[in-house]
Amino acid sequence: MSSWIHAEEIRQFEYCPRIIYYRRVMCYPSYTSKLMSMGKQFHLMRTTKKYSSKKDTKTLYDYYLQDETLKLSSYADMIRIRENEVRIVELKRFSNQSIQPRNGHILQAVFSSIIAEKIFNLPSFFIELRYWRGINSKMEITEKMKENVFLIIQNIRNMINDELIPEPTLHNRKCNVCEYWKVCMRV
């Protein structure tokens, strides 16, 4: 039977696959680092602020999306619904690259768009990523992006089934703020 996959796990897998291994296979508890805590506070601040909407647009905040068939779930920060389109808007604290969104954030938003299309029975053409520090970005959803999302979903499910630990991330600097550093140590 397929495992449920949450949007947050797509982002974490993109950051480092081992994090999902420790959570889903080893069932190690996760803890909230100072950086994550700041991110949560920022998220609360942004989602309690109501953004202006056009008359023909309905806006939902902090909305739970779930697809029983695909076994996918997500909390979308914001969903814009129009007559002919549903759009996911993700609110992020910052990107380490000030000129472009993080890949994990893009994949997370595309993942949520895939569920939203089914729930609202509307196509999703774009995602929006709004950063507090950095850029606001509107991106067209491509077939390649969707393929990448489904590939990651399959990779996570394979990892859970096979219980094989993945290689550490190639980017050592990510380990500096990783909640699993003490159990991992890149060994």
Residue in 23, 117, 141, 11 with CA at minimum distance from that of residue 69 = 117
136 close to 130: Cβ distance less than 8 angstroms: yes
Terminal C-alpha separation, the chain: 31
Out of 13, 111, 131, 180, name the contact with ligand SF4 by CB under 6 A: 180
Q: Which is nearer to ligand SF4, 4 or 166 (CB)?
A: 166
d(CA 121, CA 86): 9
Residue span 112-151 as binding mask against ligand SF4, x where in contact by CB under 6 A, dash where not: ----------------------------------------
Residue 55 beta carbon to ligand SF4: minimum distance, rounded to whole angstroms: 45
Q: Which of 5, 19, 86, 110 binds ligand SF4 (CB under 6 A)?
A: 19
Among 47, 81, 93, 168, the residue binding ligand SF4 under the rule CB under 6 A is 168
Are the C-beta atoms of 36 and 172 separated by less than 8 Å? no
| E strands, 95-134, in order | 126-133
Task: Kindly tell me which residue out of 7, 16, 20, 114 binds ligand SF4, with binding defined by CB under 6 A.
Answer: 16
Choices 67-75, 89-97, 118-126, 179-187 (CB under 6 A): range interacting with ligand SF4: 179-187
Spatial distance between the Cα atoms of 130 and 136, rounded to a whole number of angstroms: 4
Segment contacting ligand SF4 by CB under 6 A, of 2-10, 38-46, 139-147, 172-180: 172-180
Residue 23 in contact with ligand SF4, rule: CB under 6 A: no
What are residue 19's phi and psi, to 5 degrees? -60, -45
Q: Which is nearer to ligand SF4, 8 or 62 (CB)?
A: 8
Residue 54 has a CB neighbour count (10 Å cut-off) of 9
Residue 129 backbone phi and psi in degrees, to 5: -120, 120
Binding site for ligand SF4 (CB under 6 A): 16, 18-19, 168-169, 174-175, 178, 180-181, 184, 186
